[in-house]
Amino acid sequence: MTATEYLLIGHITRDLTPHGDEPGGTVTYSGRAVAALGSHTAVLTSYAPDFTGSQVLAGLHVHNVPAAATTTFENVYTPHGRVQTVHATAATLTPDHLPEAWGEPAIVHLAPVVHEVDARFIHHFPRSLLCLTPQGWLREWGEDGRVHPREWPEAQVILACADVVVLSQEDLPDIATLWRYWEWCKLLVLTGGAKGCLVLQGETAVRIPTITVPQVDPTGAGDIFATAYFIRYHQTGDAIEAAHFANFIAAHSVTQSGIDAVTEAVKQAAKQYEIKR
């Protein structure tokens, strides 16, 4: 792959943690994973001028749509589960924001974390492999910022246009939603962390187990899985081979903590995978 063949569209985020502010969002972990797998990526995103966390994307081709605020999340873990709050959002991203020089990349990854990705993007790249991680379209929040699952009214139209969709079990409110999405998608992959993934294509469902590793930090593993899957599927056209590869890469990513260490783990895992084949 060349440096501009993988286009990511979505917000980099400011994540409030007990240890301080950290950069996050799918574009952060996916963007760095693309680099670790042998290519840079183009990133269309939006953040405030004073957001220093954007330095995590250094070395990637980034086009920022300036905003008054950076999309900001806070996650609080309680005995009853995670409580997620949105404190601020950056600008909406539209096809008009795309630099002409980027052309039509081989892979386009729509990666909303709030509702920032304009749905018109699904018709903008007719010759690209159109890939989705639609978690941001599956959530809503009120005036207090508290995040809740929502019905996704545009789901059928958007999913039917995508070539590959990767979702986490946590993204889905119930099993009935999974069945509907499966019907609408050309290729749907449901991730389950240490349980591996489920590949749903046509009338076929195949469970692909992953390897057992000592987990240090699972942050970003789902994003890394998705990116590895999209790249391998583009290379091979094989939905099952792509799942084995993505499982292997994502598993190694959780053995480290911190974006730099995780990126290096992804790079080394890709080398190991090719050797063991």
pLDDT of 126-166, one tens digit each? 999 999 999 999 999 999 999 999 999 999 999 999 999 99
In a domain, 275, yes or no: no
Instruction: Give CA–CA dist 36/103, Å, rounded.
Output: 23
User: Can you give the pLDDT at residue 77?
Assistant: 79
Tell me the CATH number at 128: 3.40.1190.20
Average pLDDT over residues 228-238: 98
Instruction: Give CA–CA dist 69/53, Å, rounded.
Output: 13
In a domain, 44, yes or no: yes
The rounded percent of the chain whose pLDDT value lies above 70 is 99
Residue 277 has pLDDT above 80, yes or no: no
For the beta sheet containing 72-78, the strands, ordered from the edge strand earlier in sequence to the opposite edge, are: 20-24, 13-17, 72-78, 81-88
In a domain, 1, yes or no: no
User: What are the structure tokens assigned to 248, written together?
Assistant: 């292997």
pLDDT of 10-50, one tens digit each? 999 999 988 889 999 999 999 999 999 988 789 999 999 99
Number of domains present in the structure of the chain = 1
pLDDT of 78-116, one tens digit each? 787 778 999 999 999 999 999 999 988 999 999 999 999
pLDDT of 52-82, one tens digit each? 999 999 989 999 999 999 999 998 877 877 7
Block residue for tokens 């000592």: 214
Domain span at residue 211?
A: 6-270
Instruction: Give CA–CA dist 230/133, Å, rounded.
Output: 11
pTM over 0.85: yes
In a domain, 26, yes or no: yes
Q: Which residue has the higher pLDDT, 241 or 274?
A: 241
Residues 6+ apart with CB under 8 A from 60: 31, 32, 35, 40, 41, 42, 43
Question: Is residue 186 packed enough to be buried (19+ CB in 10 Å), middle (13-18) or exposed (0-12)?
Answer: middle
In a domain, 277, yes or no: no
